[in-house]
């Protein structure tokens, strides 16, 4: 693939859509494509799959801040706003909203976009609490 395939009307349209989007303008922590194997019996993407993607995104931020191992100890304020469908690109945005002596809270938002579309929709949000743990698997102070 050469650089010319990364430009053109479609790329420009997506770039403009990104700039105009009502979603976070920070880069996503994680992106995933919802696959048929991720569905519930009704054919929509299973909420547990979405929750696990959110936990992965939050953990990435938490591990970096804690400079090592962390464990998810709570999920608060989880709200499922709208469904995710097979083929949707799910972008996960995360940021630290609180730090304590051994724990931290990470807010995560999940947004979906049809792969052939330009408009993004927020589908869920929640706050994940992590505790930094040492080699002995006991809480340790954050650096």
pLDDT digits (tens, 9 = 90+) for 50-100: 999 999 999 999 999 999 999 999 999 899 999 999 999 999 999 999 999
Could you tell me the pTM of the whole model?
A: 0.83
Higher model confidence: residue 115 or residue 2? Answer: 115
Confidence at residue 5, expressed as pLDDT on a 0 to 100 scale: 47
| Burial classification of residue 69, based on how many CB atoms lie within 10 Å of its CB (0-12 exposed, 13-18 middle, 19 or more buried) | middle
Mean pLDDT rounded to a whole number for the chain:
89
Q: Which domains does the chain have, with CATH numbers?
A: 25-132 (3.10.129.10)
| Burial classification of residue 133, based on how many CB atoms lie within 10 Å of its CB (0-12 exposed, 13-18 middle, 19 or more buried) | middle
pLDDT digits (tens, 9 = 90+) for 17-38: 556 556 787 899 999 999 999 9
């Amino acid at each position: 693939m050469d650089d010319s395939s990364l430009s053109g009307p479609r790329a420009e349209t997506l770039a403009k859509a990104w700039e105009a989007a009502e979603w976070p303008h920070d880069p996503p922590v994680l992106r995933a494509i919802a696959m048929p194997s991720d569905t519930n019996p009704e054919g929509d993407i299973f909420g547990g799959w979405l929750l696990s993607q959110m936990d992965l995104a939050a953990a990435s931020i938490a591990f970096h801040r804690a400079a090592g191992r962390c464990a998810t100890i709570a999920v608060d304020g989880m709200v499922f706003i709208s469904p995710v469908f097979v083929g949707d690109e799910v972008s996960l945005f995360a940021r630290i909203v609180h730090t304590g002596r051994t724990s931290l809270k990470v807010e995560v938002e999940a947004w979906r976009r049809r792969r052939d579309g330009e408009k993004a929709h927020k589908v869920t949000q929640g706050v994940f609490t992590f505790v930094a743990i040492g080699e002995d698997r006991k809480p340790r102070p954050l650096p």
